[in-house]
Amino acid sequence: KMAGLKVKRAYVSFGGIGLGSVTASGSVVISRADREITDRDISLALEAAEAAIPPAISINKKIINTVPIEYKIDGQTVWGQALGLKAEKLEVKALFITCLEHHLNSLISTIEMIGLEVVDIVASPVALSFVTLSKKQKRVGCLLIDLGAETLSMVVFENNNLISLAVFPVGSDDITNDIALGLKISPAEAENVKLGSDRRLTYSKKKLDEIVKARLSDCFELIERHLKSIGRNGLLPAGVIIAGGGAATSEIKSMAENSLKLPTQLAEVYLGNTTEGKTKDRTWAVAYGLLIVGFNTDGAGHSLGIRNGFLIKEGGRRWGRIVSHWISQFLP
């Protein structure tokens, strides 16, 4: 209303405990006489990978983003894109980001009820990465943590590819509640204490540190366990980047460094390629990431790089499955 614009279409982020990911592989024999790999071959290989997901994992789930992690041609790993290369056989390893189907349907229905068309669905941690991670960080390997009020999300990048995503049912509100119970103060006062912004209350700093460290230790234990499951614990040279409202919690940086044995920094939001476009205010970071998606869209409404993925159509709706090779092209 303030801008005086009529909004008709929306790019939407999806987050929360229903978000998850699974890795699967698929292959296809190249059919062209000249053996050149085409968009269709890549799409067929991705479809084969999706078909390989065990039913027990995919039941009641909907794939919202498909991210190719690795290509192989005739058994040899390809560094970069496979499109245009020549081979007898193409293999692809892909990360499928999923959400609970009924949650997604409810979200889309609610948005459509107010007269908006849903153009694209993007996982919230992925949208966040577009404005908080540099190309170098994604290339050498890094972990982005989003400590929200009710959930803890993490995404891992390596070789410019998103290789893992996980969400845990713990958040900064749990730290606030622990402080309220431990210090016997109200939740509002506990929130101020957590952020170090209330100097009027008298309390034992030692006890506060014990309360906060206990909950953060639980958080970082979940993260470390997941990193071990994908073989990346202690092996991400660009370290840890922490975003979300919980990033303002006292001592979180040092706790992360001690627990994960990786260099750690608090996220900054990059709105351009210059220092003038940088801010430490992370409040609207996911929304900024969605703007990046919207700006990098052609006139037909297809996300840039979508040629290495494919659009799905269901119930009259169309939205893109975001593909990883264009992630590295985004800011910063």
For residue range 86-140, what is the model confidence (pLDDT) as tens digits?
999 999 999 999 999 999 999 999 999 999 999 989 999 999 999 999 999 999 9
The confidence score (pLDDT) of residue 205 equals 83
pLDDT bin (cut points 50, 70, 90) of residue 180 is very high
18: tokens are 């229903």
Percent residues over pLDDT 70 in the chain: 86
* Domain 130-270, CATH: 3.30.420.40
- What is d(CA 158, CA 232) in angstroms, rounded to the nearest whole number? 10
pLDDT digits (tens, 9 = 90+) for 243-290: 998 998 878 999 999 999 999 999 999 876 655 567 777 778 999 999
d(CA 27, CA 193): 54
Options 3.50.50.60, 3.30.1490.110, 3.90.45.10, 3.30.365.10; which CATH number does 9-123+288-329 get? 3.30.1490.110
Q: How confident is the model at residue 297 (pLDDT cuts 50, 70, 90)?
A: low
Burial environment of residue 78 by CB neighbours within 10 A (0 to 12, 13 to 18, 19 or more): middle
Rg of the chain over Cα atoms, rounded to whole angstroms, equals: 21
Within the chain, all domains assigned CATH 3.30.1490.110 are found at 9-123+288-329
**Higher-pLDDT residue of 7, 152:** 152
Q: What pLDDT, on the 0 to 100 scale, is given for residue 307?
A: 27
The first and second tokens of residue 39, run together, are: 């968009």
Whether the Cβ atoms of residue 310 and residue 148 lie closer than 8 Å to each other: no
What are the start and end residues of each CATH 3.30.420.40 domain in the chain?
Answer: 130-270
Give the Cβ contact number of residue 200 at 10 Å. Answer: 6
- Sequence-distant (6+) residues with CB within 8 A of 329 are 296, 304, 305
Say which residue the tokens 């730290």 belong to.
175
Q: How confident is the model at residue 299 (pLDDT cuts 50, 70, 90)?
A: very low
Q: Reply yes or no on whether the pLDDT at 296 is more than 70.
A: yes
Q: Is the per-residue pLDDT at 210 higher than 90?
A: yes
pLDDT reported for residue 272? 65
pTM of the model: 0.85
Q: Kindly tell me if the per-residue pLDDT of 39 is higher than 90.
A: yes
* SS3 call for 121: strand
